[in-house]
């Protein structure tokens, strides 16, 4: 059994990943990253999930580097979150430059200092159209760099990289993941908006295998 | 000519790198990282060097992740900086876990948001014995990941990876690098200590090609 730092956003993919790693018998700690996302509510979700599981949870505060991340709709108040489907061109406004390498770098630093065996992140095929740093080729290359970054070798695990979000919903359902606690919406309002790409993708994922999702949407047009 | 973000610690290697990239005709911006190093004086040196060159300089503040970096003599007040030579086992106390991937990740995020072509860092052969993330194999693997992290492709340059610190001193001397402004010592006192591995390596580098170094050491035993 390995010891693994799981990168946990508080959304359904990374929460399912955390349950999946624990179910496989690994010892886990969870890391969330505050990069100035407007949907900072996801960090409260991550903390709540970890408290319930009695898993150690750290939040790495990278807000100070916000000015280097340029203009995108997840971290800039002045750029609206696009409504519509993930595959649409407008969703590229939601790309935070090099987000995954940043989060993985911090997780690996922590894993090395803990002498842990691996870091895991929840990239999946549904992300690939928009997010280049969820592609398998990126994960493969970064895994090689991660394994070489220290004399104590750490691996980069990405068990969902060949699955889509529907498959993850099914896996999470099997593992009794508390999806109602997971935060998905990019808007970060009181309720999930139901209109942004992240909400739409969530709705479609649950529909794929006809799994009930017990959250309430602001706009339930779908 | 490329546009390049140069990772600048304020020491002699990265300062020579900055001059080297400018001499080749590239457009440059410089990035320093405050990771809680006790020799934070190097950041003042970096700022001074950039002001003189009229180069834009940003400092990424990663101090908030300090608790995840474990115990090492560069960021922990409670761990003494070892005296002696770089090759000695004790120098491993100066390894900050995954430092280069962390710094490169931030630099790449900035380069992507600027639509720059590359990030450059000053790894060289003298570092390899102690710092795994200065090895050529690490840089090669990370370069591949960097090139895949965004639709706008960025390269990772490491022009000194086959040179030693003596070669860098010679190159810097050719380019009239103001070595007296560069900060090297790990102790971060008023003067360079002359005893830590970093100071000893600096002294040997200048001696290799008989180049004068106009800084004053606290202990000039060598």
Mean pLDDT of chain A: 90
Q: Residue B151: list chain A partners with CB under 8 A.
A: 92, 132
Question: Is residue B177 situated within a structural domain?
Answer: yes
Q: Residue A108: list chain B partners with CB under 8 A.
A: 97-98, 101
Measured CA to CA, the distance from residue B149 to residue B218 in angstroms comes to 45
Segment holding A57, helix H or strand E: strand A57-61
Q: What is the pLDDT along chain A (222 residues), one digit of tens a residue?
A: 899 999 999 999 999 999 999 999 999 999 999 988 878 889 999 999 999 999 999 999 999 998 898 877 677 667 677 777 766 666 667 778 899 999 999 999 999 999 999 999 999 987 666 788 888 999 999 999 999 999 999 999 999 999 999 999 999 999 999 999 999 998 878 899 999 888 999 999 999 999 999 899 997 654
Q: Is B61's Cβ below 8 Å from some Cβ in A?
A: yes
- The pLDDT tens digits for B87-104 are 666 666 777 889 999 999
Measured CA to CA, the distance from residue A188 to residue A38 in angstroms comes to 6
How would you label B56-81 residue by residue, b for 16+ Cβ within 10 Å and e otherwise? ebbbbbbebbeebbbebbbbbeeeeb
Mean pLDDT of chain B: 90
Q: Is A101's Cβ below 8 Å from some Cβ in B?
A: yes
Residue B65: pLDDT over 80: yes
Contact B26, B159 (CB under 8 A): no
In the block, residue with structure tokens 């911090």:
A106
Highest mean pLDDT among B68-77, B85-94, B195-204: B195-204
Q: Is A176's Cβ below 8 Å from some Cβ in B?
A: no
Question: Is residue A56 situated within a structural domain?
Answer: yes
Residue A169 sits in a domain whose CATH number is 3.40.50.620
Q: Is B101's Cβ below 8 Å from some Cβ in A?
A: yes
Q: Residue B95: list chain A partners with CB under 8 A.
A: 150
Question: Is residue A220 situated within a structural domain?
Answer: no
Contact B76, A38 (CB under 8 A): no
pLDDT at B66: 87
- Nearest-5° angle of CA A148, CA B15, CA B170? 95
pLDDT at B112: 95
Question: Is residue B218 situated within a structural domain?
Answer: no
Q: Does A150 contact B133 at a Cβ distance shorter than 8 Å? A: yes
Range of the structural domain that residue A134 is part of:
3-208
Q: Is B115's Cβ below 8 Å from some Cβ in A?
A: no
Question: Is residue A219 situated within a structural domain?
Answer: no
Residue A201, CB half-sphere, CA atoms under 13 Å: how many? 27
- The pLDDT tens digits for B123-182 are 998 766 678 888 999 999 999 999 999 999 999 999 999 999 999 999 999 999 999 999
Question: Is residue A221 situated within a structural domain?
Answer: no
pLDDT at A204: 93
pLDDT at A88: 64
pLDDT at B186: 86
The number of folded domains in chain A is 1
pLDDT at B222: 46
pLDDT at A58: 96
Complex ipTM: 0.90
Segment holding B59, helix H or strand E: strand B57-61
pLDDT at A104: 97
What mean pLDDT comes out for the span B7-12? 96
pLDDT at A87: 63
Q: What is the pTM of this model?
A: 0.91
pLDDT at B191: 92
Question: Is residue B58 situated within a structural domain?
Answer: yes
- Nearest-5° angle of CA B20, CA B40, CA B159? 20
**Å from A202 to nearest chain B CA?**
24
Of B64, B138, B148, the CB nearest to A137: B148
Question: Is residue A218 situated within a structural domain?
Answer: no
């Amino acid at each position: 059994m390995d010891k693994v730092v799981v990168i946990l956003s508080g959304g359904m993919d990374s929460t399912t990943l955390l349950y999946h790693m624990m179910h496989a018998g690994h010892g886990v700690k969870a890391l969330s990253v505050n990069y100035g996302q407007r949907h900072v509510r996801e960090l409260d979700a991550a903390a709540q999930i970890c408290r319930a599981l009695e898993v150690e949870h750290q939040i790495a505060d990278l807000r100070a580097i916000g000015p280097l991340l340029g203009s995108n709709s997840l971290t800039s108040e002045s750029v609206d979150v696009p409504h519509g489907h993930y595959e649409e061109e407008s969703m590229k406004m939601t790309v935070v430059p090099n987000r995954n390498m940043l989060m993985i770098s911090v997780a690996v630093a922590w894993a090395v200092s803990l002498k842990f065996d691996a870091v895991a992140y929840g990239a999946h095929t549904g992300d690939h159209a928009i997010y280049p740093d969820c592609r398998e080729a990126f994960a493969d290359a970064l895994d090689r760099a991660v394994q070489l970054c220290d004399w104590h070798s750490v691996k980069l695990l990405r068990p969902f990289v060949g699955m889509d979000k529907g498959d993850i919903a099914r896996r999470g359902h099997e593992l009794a993941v508390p999806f109602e606690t997971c935060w998905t919406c990019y808007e970060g309002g009181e309720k999930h908006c139901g209109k942004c790409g992240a909400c739409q993708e969530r709705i479609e994922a649950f529909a794929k295998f006809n799994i009930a999702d017990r959250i309430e949407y602001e706009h339930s047009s779908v």
